[in-house]
Amino acid sequence: MEIRVNPTRMELNRLKKRLKMAERGHKLLKDKRDELIRQFLILVRKNKELREHIEKELSAAFAKFLLARAVMPAETMEEALMYPTRRLSLQITKQNIMSVYAPKMQWDEEEAAEGEGASIYPYGFADTSAELDTSIETLSGILPSLLELAEVEKSVQLLAEEIEKTRRRVNALEYVLIPKLQETSRYITMKLDENERGALTRLMKIKDVVRSKM
Amino acid sequence: MSTYKIAVVGDNDSILGFKTIGIDTYPASDAQTGLSILKKLAGENYGVIFITEELAAELEDVIKELNKRILPAVVLIPNSKGTLGLGMRRIKDNVEKAIGADILFRKEG
């Protein structure tokens, strides 16, 4: 399949320029895709590890939590957890991974009014069960990993999206635009050659006619 | 740089513990409530939303939409009944989308 053009030298020059440009773009995009995939693989491995770790830890925390719920009256439980001693605030900046903007997170734990050195447990130990303590300890222990997981997973998603887009562009250039341009410039060259041959034959013919009349 | 909040959405049993470490909790037991909460949170100043897999399974469309934006990051967590493997599936899907073939989990399955 070729682009419909006038078979002229000017058109041929234009096509050749376009072809050069397309090839350069193709090379650049291909490099971009390769680097994106490299970054992606690093992140995705990290993502998998973090997720495995977190799923294990969280399940343990939940199991303890359920136990605590079972041995404590629901009201006591609600009451114990009603006023958290911490407030989390999250600072998010953008980081640039191969011109894909992904969030980078930093967090602060602000201690609420109680003052310095308040423990992570928002309740007295008198009427709560020990399972609740361990459960909350695990939870607060994996918080950094949880946020890291959020960051990594988001980056992986955004990268996957970008890789798909870039790959599509690379393929469009490689299998559609570049062959089309090559095909068309070949067509023009053939047509021009054919015209030249035509002109030559015509000249020879005319020469014959003129000579025979002399 | 700006400040964001963190939320967790899911059934009450699973999310209650998160409150103590300073994360906002939004109990949702069915898809309907989950959907309206998620929509509300997406419009607000939340940077990370943790959502239980059980709930996420029913809200896939909204989550897919949110995944395309930079923020918020929606992260699936197992709930108190254990993991459904949805979070891992999502990693696998991402790999397949980017590379075209699954090269991370090949050995297991």
* Nearest CB to A150 within list B48, B90, B95: B48
Q: What is the pTM of this model?
A: 0.79
Tell me phi and psi for residue A86, to 5 degrees.
-110, 150
Instruction: Residue A57: count other Cβ atoms within 10 Å of its Cβ.
Output: 16
Quote the CA–CA distance of A149 and A155 in Å, as a whole number. 10
Minimal CA separation from B55 to chain A, in Å: 16
Quote the CA–CA distance of A49 and A152 in Å, as a whole number. 11
Q: Is residue A167 part of a domain?
A: yes
Q: Is residue A2 part of a domain?
A: no
* Nearest CB to B75 within list A110, A153, A161: A153
> Is B13 at the interface with chain A, CB within 8 A?
yes
CATH number, residue A200: 1.10.287.3240
Q: How many residues does chain B have?
A: 109
Residue A116 pLDDT > 50: no
Residue A171 pLDDT > 90: yes
Q: Which of residues 142-171 of A touch B (CB under 8 A)?
A: 143, 146-147, 149-151, 153-154, 156-161, 163-164, 167
Q: Is residue A82 part of a domain?
A: yes
Residue A84 with chain B: CB contacts under 8 Å: 19-22
User: Given pLDDT bands bounded at 50, 70 and 90, which one contains residue A119?
Assistant: low
Comparing A45 with B19, the larger pLDDT belongs to A45
- Contact criterion met (CB < 8 Å) for B17 and A89: no
> Is B79 at the interface with chain A, CB within 8 A?
yes
Using only C-alpha atoms, what is the Rg of chain A?
Answer: 35
- Contact criterion met (CB < 8 Å) for B73 and A136: no
* Nearest CB to A150 within list B75, B90, B98: B75
How many domains are contained in chain A? 1
> Is B91 at the interface with chain A, CB within 8 A?
yes
- Domains recognised in chain B with CATH numbers: 5-80 (3.40.50.10580)
Q: From A48, B62, A66, B20, select the one nearest B49 (Cα to Cα).
A: B62
DSSP 3-state of A58: helix
Report strand pairing: A86-97 vs A100-111.
antiparallel
Minimal CA separation from A132 to chain B, in Å: 9
> Is A37 at the interface with chain B, CB within 8 A?
yes
Comparing B14 with A49, the larger pLDDT belongs to A49
Tell me phi and psi for residue B48, to 5 degrees.
-135, 130
Q: Is residue A1 part of a domain?
A: no
Q: How far is CA A82 from the centre of its chain?
A: 40
Query: In chain A, which residue's Cα lies nearest the Cα of B50?
Result: A150
Q: Please enumerate in sequence order all residues whose Cβ is within 8 A of that of B91, keeping only pairs 6 or more positions apart, or say none.
A: A44, A47, A48, A51, A153, A156, B104
Q: Which domain holds residue A167?
A: 9-208
Render pLDDT for A61-103 as a digit per residue (tens, 0 to 9).
Answer: 878 777 877 777 777 777 777 666 666 777 778 888 877 887 7
Tell me phi and psi for residue B38, to 5 degrees.
-60, -40
Q: Is residue A3 part of a domain?
A: no
Render pLDDT for B15-52 as a digit per residue (tens, 0 to 9).
Answer: 777 777 777 888 887 878 888 888 888 788 888 888 88
Residue B108 pLDDT > 70: no
Q: Is residue A213 part of a domain?
A: no
> Is A88 at the interface with chain B, CB within 8 A?
yes
Q: Is residue A135 part of a domain?
A: yes
Which residues does residue B47 pair with via DSSP β-bridges, in sequence order? none
What is the ipTM, given to two decimal places?
A: 0.82
> Is B31 at the interface with chain A, CB within 8 A?
no
* Nearest CB to B21 within list A37, A94, A139: A139
User: Given pLDDT bands bounded at 50, 70 and 90, which one contains residue B109?
Assistant: very low
Report strand pairing: A86-97 vs B2-10.
antiparallel
The rounded percent of chain A whose pLDDT value lies above 70 is 86
Q: Is residue A4 part of a domain?
A: no
